[in-house]
Amino acid sequence: MRLMSDLWAAMCLVFVLEGLILFAVPGFWKRNAEQMLTMPISTLRRIGAGVLAAGLVALYFVRG
C-alpha cells in the first residue's frame, strides 16, 4: 500500500511542477511546445528515453 501512496504522491508532484511552469513562464512552455512540433519523432523518443533514464537513476539514488 505504501508503494501506491508514493506513486500517487509522485503523480501529484508532476502536476504541481507542470502547473508551476505553465504559471511562471507560459511563453517558454509555448515556445518549447512549438519547437517540439517541428522535431522528428525519433528525436523526441531519444529525448524522452534520456529523461526517463535520468529520472530512474536519480530515483535509485534518492530512494536507495
Distance of CA 9 to the CA centre of its chain: 15
* pLDDT band at 1; cut points 50, 70, 90: confident
Chain segment 17-55, per-residue pLDDT in tens: 999 999 999 999 999 999 999 999 999 999 999 999 999
**Of 46, 42, 47, 52, residue with least CA distance to 32:** 47
pTM (whole model) above 0.85: no
Greater confidence (64 vs 44) lies with 44
Query: Rounded to whole angstroms, how far apart are CA atoms 39 and 9?
Result: 32
